């Protein structure tokens, strides 16, 4: 039984995350998406909202071997708790690889039993990040194709004014 954890802030989940998740679900028997509950950060969506948005996307994609959970504290402790052997991270380019390598090496020191696996992002989503999408949404820009429709609706609900409204004199 090869179980992996796919951790992240997922504030909110994007098509890039979901592409990596679907590919991880083909590589491992079971994948647990682990949403970070970080008391130091003020996310746009609550932990429960972020979990729910991913659960809906997972159900829509029919990913039967994927579950969604949240965690706080050290990732490697959570990995140990759920009995996983791998951590999956998507990497969009060299800057992600540099940052993720340091994270993976620290995690390896903290728990040598957990291996980190990098999956290169689909080039279609290599520029997509939750932060950029929040910026686009806050300015009323279109989100189609970058997040699933239910996530776009959740983002748009946070900033109901459209781009057209903004440019009215
Ligand atoms: O989606 P993100 O924000 O890039 O995800 C980062 C995440 C959640 C993978 C990372 O911040 C994390 O693992 N945080 C938990 C604390 C931890 O274990 N940090 C690494 C060792 S110091």
Instruction: Note the pLDDT tens digit of each residue in 73-130.
Output: 999 999 999 999 999 999 999 999 999 999 999 999 999 999 999 999 999 999 999 9
Atom of ligand 1 nearest to the CA of 74: 18
Note whether 121 and 38 are within 8 A (CB). Answer: no
Q: Is 59 in the pocket of ligand 1 (CB under 6 A)?
A: no
Distance CA 149, CA 151 (A): 5
Give the per-residue pLDDT at 51.
98
Average pLDDT over residues 5-14: 98
**162 has pLDDT over 80:** no
Percent of residues in the chain assigned helix, strand, coil, to nearest 5:
45, 20, 35
Ligand 1 atom with minimal separation from the 76 CA: 18
Opening angle at CA 151, ends 94 and 33, nearest 5:
60
CB distance 7 to ligand 1 below 6 Å = yes
The response to whether residue 148 sits with its C-beta less than 6 Å from ligand 1 reads no
The stretch 47-54 carries a mean pLDDT of 98
Give the distance, in angstroms, between the CA of residue 10 and the centroid of all CA atoms in the same chain.
4
- CA–centroid distance for 96 within its chain: 14
**Substitution candidate for ligand 1 out of 103, 106, 131 with most atoms within 8 A of CB:** 103
Whether the CB-CB separation of 45 and 12 falls below 8 Å is answered with yes
The model's pTM is: 0.96
Give all strands of the β-sheet with 3-8 in edge-to-edge order.
66-71, 30-36, 3-8, 86-91, 115-120
């Amino acid at each position: 039984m090869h179980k992996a954890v796919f951790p992240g802030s997922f504030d909110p989940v994007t098509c890039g995350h979901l592409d990596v998740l679907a590919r991880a679900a083909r590589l491992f028997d079971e994948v647990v998406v682990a949403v970070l509950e970080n008391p130091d950060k003020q996310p746009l969506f609550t932990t429960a909202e972020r979990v729910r948005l991913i659960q809906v996307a997972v159900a829509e994609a029919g990913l039967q071997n994927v579950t969604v959970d949240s965690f706080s504290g050290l990732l490697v402790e959570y990995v140990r708790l759920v009995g996983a052997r791998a951590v999956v991270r998507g990497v969009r380019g060299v800057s992600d690889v540099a940052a993720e390598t340091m994270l993976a090496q620290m995690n390896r020191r903290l728990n040598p039993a957990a291996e980190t696996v990098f999956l290169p992002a689909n080039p279609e989503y290599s520029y997509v990040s939750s932060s950029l999408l929040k910026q686009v949404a806050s300015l009323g820009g279109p989100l189609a194709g970058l997040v699933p429709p239910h996530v776009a609706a959740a983002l748009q609900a946070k900033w109901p004014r459209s781009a057209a409204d903004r440019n009215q004199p």
